[in-house]
Every structure is written in structure tokens, then in C-alpha cells.
Amino acid sequence: MRTALVTGGGRGIGAAISKKLAEDGYRVLVTYCTSSKPAEMVVDDIRSSSTDAVAVNCDVTDAREVALLATHPWVIEGVDVLVLNHGRYDRIDAKELNLEHLRRTMSTNFEGAFLVWDAVKSNLTTEARICVIGSQLGTRGSPHGADYSASKAALSIWARSLAQSLAPEGKRVNVIAPGFVDTDILAGDSPEKRASREEEVPLKRIGTPEDIAGVVSFLVGEKSSYITGAVIHVNGGLYLP
């Protein structure tokens, strides 16, 4: 059976991606950092409805935990799809950002993705697909997330470079840059803030985790076989670069 590894696959967008890939026929290795219960629920859901899944604890900022992840039997047997989805967004005014915070964000969002890739790269199958979850802010920037935006910009350009390097081997790498998506990241919004976001989006709604999961499914499938090194903006028309 084909294997997918989804970082941060137990919650929010990652949970929707894990379930969608299971529907597509993959067994799914779901990693979590602090939220074990939601990850176990995703695993139970997949096992009861489609294929097989397992939850593995892995803080992507901890090289030892990432190295341990790479020793999981499903990884050793070969990873067909790697989704680097994990991320943190702490909303700090760009003027207030300090070095400690910048390093924390970069080490999670960017270095963490690199560490996971580096640990599992020798176990990727011949035509493996890699999908990286960036952000519209990685292109636009944000007054409330200079660190987050910079980490997502780095992630995106790293992934596009990797795509160019891996293409001759038949492996494909693509980036999804979501706009507003209804997860815990937006949970602090007041009703007024939510309404103003909906108004701002040309399609007049906040995206769902399933909106992103569907695009992941496309990008790792055969119908996208000529797409690599792309950044796909999934944002309801909010920002069209």
C-alpha cells in the first residue's frame, strides 16, 4: 500500500489532508507535536472508514525526534507522498518582533520542514510527491507576522529549488499558499473580524480545510503529472500575484 506522511496531520488543515489522502488510498502517517487526542481521532476515523493510519509524536524543531520519525517502519518501507503542513503563526506586530521569536518561527516553519525532508529523503519512493503548505503571507507579507511571512517565503523558495533539483528523478514538489482557512489559526477572530474577512474575499467566504486538502490530492495525483515547482494560491481570489 502507498504511504503518505503528513506533518501536523492531526488538526486543522493537516487533519483534512490526512483524511483526503486516506480516501485516495494511502495509509497515512500522521505526525503531531502537542495535540495527541485530535491526531488519534483522525487515525481512528481513517481506520474505520478507509485505509490505515498511525499517529507519531514529533516536534519538528527537535532533530532527535525527527530522526526517530525516520525510523518508523512505514517510513523505512518507502514514503510516496510527503506533506509538510505543520506551522505556527503567533501574530506579533512587525515592530515588536524580537530575535528569539523570529528564530522560533523560522525553526518551526522553515527549518522543521527541512529537517523532516532531510530525514526521510532516502526513503522517498522513485516518483514521490512532496507538497508544502506555505501561505499567501509568504508573498504578501503582513504587519502582524513578519516572522511568519518570512518563514513561509523561505519555505516556498526552498521547495521550488528542490523541485528543480528533483525533477530529473521524476519526483515532484509543489507549494500551496492558502488564504484565510477556518482552523484554530482564525479561532481568535471576533464575529466582526470574521465578517470583514468574508467580505474581503472575492468569493465571499472563508476557506475550509477541505478546500486545501482537495488541492493536495490533485497535486500528488496523476492529473497534475506536468506540474512541479508551482505555487498554487488557494484563497478565494483574495490575492492574485
Segment interacting with ligand NDP, rule: CB under 6 A, options 4-12, 68-76, 96-104, 220-228: 4-12
60 forms part of the interface with ligand NDP (CB under 6 A): yes
Q: Which of 26, 148, 226, 239 is catalytic?
A: 148
Binding piece for ligand NDP, criterion CB under 6 A, among 21-29, 69-77, 159-167, 175-183: 175-183
Concatenated DSSP letters for the chain? --EEEETTTTSHHHHHHHHHHHHTT-EEEEEESS-HHHHHHHHHHHHHHSS-EEEEE--TT-HHHHHHHTTSHHHHH-EEEEEE-------B-GGG--HHHHHHHIIIIIIHHHHHHHHHGGGEEEEEEEEEE--THHHH--TTBHHHHHHHHHHHHHHHHHHHHHGGGT-EEEEEEE-SBSSGGGTT--HHHHHHHHHHSTTSS-B-HHHHHHHHHHHTSGGGTT--S-EEEESTTS---
Cβ pair 42, 55 in contact under 8 A: yes
Choose which of 3, 4, 14, 119 interacts with ligand NDP (CB under 6 A).
Answer: 14
Q: 148 an active-site residue?
A: yes
**In the bound complex, what is the minimum distance in angstroms from residue 187's beta carbon to ligand NDP?**
8
- Residue span binding ligand NDP (CB under 6 A) among the ranges 2-10, 67-75, 96-104, 188-196: 2-10
Does 87 help bind ligand NDP (rule: CB under 6 A)?
Answer: yes
Judged by CB under 6 A, does residue 12 bind ligand NDP?
A: yes
**Given 185, 200, 201, 230, the residue binding ligand NDP (CB under 6 A):** 185
Asked if 110 interacts with ligand NDP (CB under 6 A), we say no
Place of cell 497515512: 28
Among 157, 186, 201, 230, binds ligand NDP (CB under 6 A): 186
Considering the rule CB under 6 A, would residue 18 count as an interface residue with ligand NDP?
A: no
Q: Applying CB under 6 A, what is the total number of residues that bind ligand NDP?
A: 30
Q: Which residues bind ligand NDP (CB under 6 A)?
A: 7-8, 10-14, 32-35, 59-61, 85-89, 108, 112, 133, 135, 178, 180-181, 183-186
- Catalytic sites, residue numbers: 148
